[in-house]
A and B are shown apart, each in its own frame.
Chain A
């Protein structure tokens, strides 16, 4: 845990960074066209926060992120468990999965807009393609690395296939699944925002792209900061969930000591 001094140091860093930035723009070392004043960014953020329109955008991005995340991880966990358990299918499908994963997802965005329109579903689809593979590969790994002694023991104790899945494979893969869930949140946001940026009528990505279209760098920076806060918030929620779900793992500090 960070001590009070660590916290102070962190605060100091923030103050120095933004203070320095503010100073540099006021004195004229930085061109405010490329690097708007932090105070202006703050004003812009405040402006947005008080306008009800902003919440429409926030809600749009949030729904796209959540939908992309839930669908992507759901498919990833399901597919990962299935392929992890059947080496044959994994062997046959391997080259196709690798090929699909090799496609830069951004180039799919225009296709999704074409197929699914400018609404939220084209963004959800983009987020899904990003999230799916991260979860999928982690789950396959998690299922394959189940301790063989634990597995043999459960089988001898009488576990059926379904019970093995529930009592052995899924809990064993749980920490892999959770860690991939953490990573994929960021990707769900990326998918949603890029989708909006490339063609939409609402969302944080749309806000940023509009600000850019109006040559309003302050708006772009404000959008970026809000996005960062957005992802951090989701991360805090996941942190809480993870602590609740995996109670059986030794605490990190404890594990380091032993």
Chain B
């Protein structure tokens, strides 16, 4: 039985909040007179998987580009691991919405290129690139050029290319939206498995609310543009590791979906009204 002293130990130990990896404060992004986003405040913890949803054209890609250092903020600040973002960030991995592989390099050369830029010796980087290609299920495709791969295979190469440098933060811009539904599910679970293995901070943009809930720890909703900002922040408490195919059947999933959708729907409708 418990002695009186052990009660002290049973007191809840304050869990240290996960260290903030990406901090966005009062971010404003403008293109000329057009203010795409303003007053955006977001924090992504170390090892946290954040999904951002929002109507089309609200500024999701713009925010991601600000984190990557590809675009300069018109106001506010972005920092990664406490260091303010200035110029293109090399500590991040970015999975672009568009095709971003170099068409003149083979799958293997594309995957190893980040290590080439980091001056890793050739044998070492070849070996790592081979291992990564195998990890994303492309063993035997090392010598193929991007035009000799399917859309899904190219996305896998892109994923291996972005992850091989072990980035502190992984940014993904609708990574799977161009894929058919089966490939998409497959790649979602592959992504989850990879992430589970080595947890990094992830910011993923998606149009697909189901995808957001099944993958992320948190889902943020952006309002309709212009001058878009965060209007919803939902914690996803579903257990991990998750099974992407089955998680949708859980009542908690449905409940979350309903909650987030009620916020998102309002913004989507607003953006439609605005377009008219």
Contacts and interface: CB of A to CB of B under 8 A. Distances in A.
A, B bound: yes
Interface of A: 147, 149-150, 152-160, 163, 167-168, 171-172, 174, 246-250
A156 B103 CA distance: 17
Given A163-B117, A248-B145, A250-B147, A156 B68 contact: yes
Contacts of B68: 152, 156
Contacts of B88: 152, 155-156
B101 A150 contact: yes
B96 A153 contact: yes
A150 B158 CA distance: 11
Given A149-B96, A152-B100, A157 B105 contact: no
B86 to A, nearest CB: 14
Contacts of B34: none
Contacts of A150: 99-103
A159 B101 contact: no
A154 B88 CA distance: 10
A153 B94 contact: yes
B253 to A, nearest CB: 33
B104 A157 contact: no
Contacts of B98: 147, 149
Given A149-B96, A156-B70, A250-B147, 18 more contacts: A149-B100, A150-B99, A152-B88, A153-B96, A155-B70, A155-B88, A156-B68, A156-B88, A157-B117, A158-B114, A160-B117, A163-B116, A167-B113, A167-B116, A171-B104, A247-B145, A248-B103, A248-B145
A250 B149 CA distance: 11
Contact of B105 (A152, A248, A249): A248
B118 A158 contact: yes
Given A152-B96, A157-B161, A168 B102 contact: yes
Nearest to B146: A248
Given A149-B96, A248-B145, A159 B117 contact: yes
B92 interface: yes
Interface of B: 68, 70, 88-90, 92-94, 96, 98-106, 113-114, 116-118, 145, 147, 161-162, 165
B113 A157 contact: yes
Nearest to A250: B147
Nearest to B173: A149
B contact patch SS:
loop
A158 B68 CA distance: 12
A152 B96 CA distance: 9
Nearest to A168: B102
Contact of B92 (A156, A167, A250): A156
A contact patch SS:
helix
A171 B102 CA distance: 9
B96 to A, nearest CB: 5
Nearest to A148: B98
Nearest to A157: B114
Pick the most buried of A147, A153, A160, A174: most chain B CB atoms within 10 A of its CB.
Answer: A153
A143 to B, nearest CB: 14
Contacts of A154: 102, 113
A160 B99 CA distance: 21
B110 to A, nearest CB: 10
A150 B118 CA distance: 18
Nearest to A172: B104
A172 B165 CA distance: 24
A15 to B, nearest CB: 42
Nearest to A156: B94
Contacts of B103: 150, 248-249
A158 B114 CA distance: 6
A152 B70 contact: yes
Instruction: Give the 4 A-B CB pairs with smallest separation, nearest first.
Output: A158-B117, A153-B100, A149-B98, A171-B104
Contacts of B118: 158
Contacts of B102: 150, 154, 167-168, 171
Contacts of B89: 156
B71 to A, nearest CB: 10
Given A168-B102, A248-B103, A156 B113 contact: no
Contact of A248 (B70, B93, B147, B165): B147
Nearest to B96: A149
Given A152-B100, A248-B105, A157 B147 contact: no
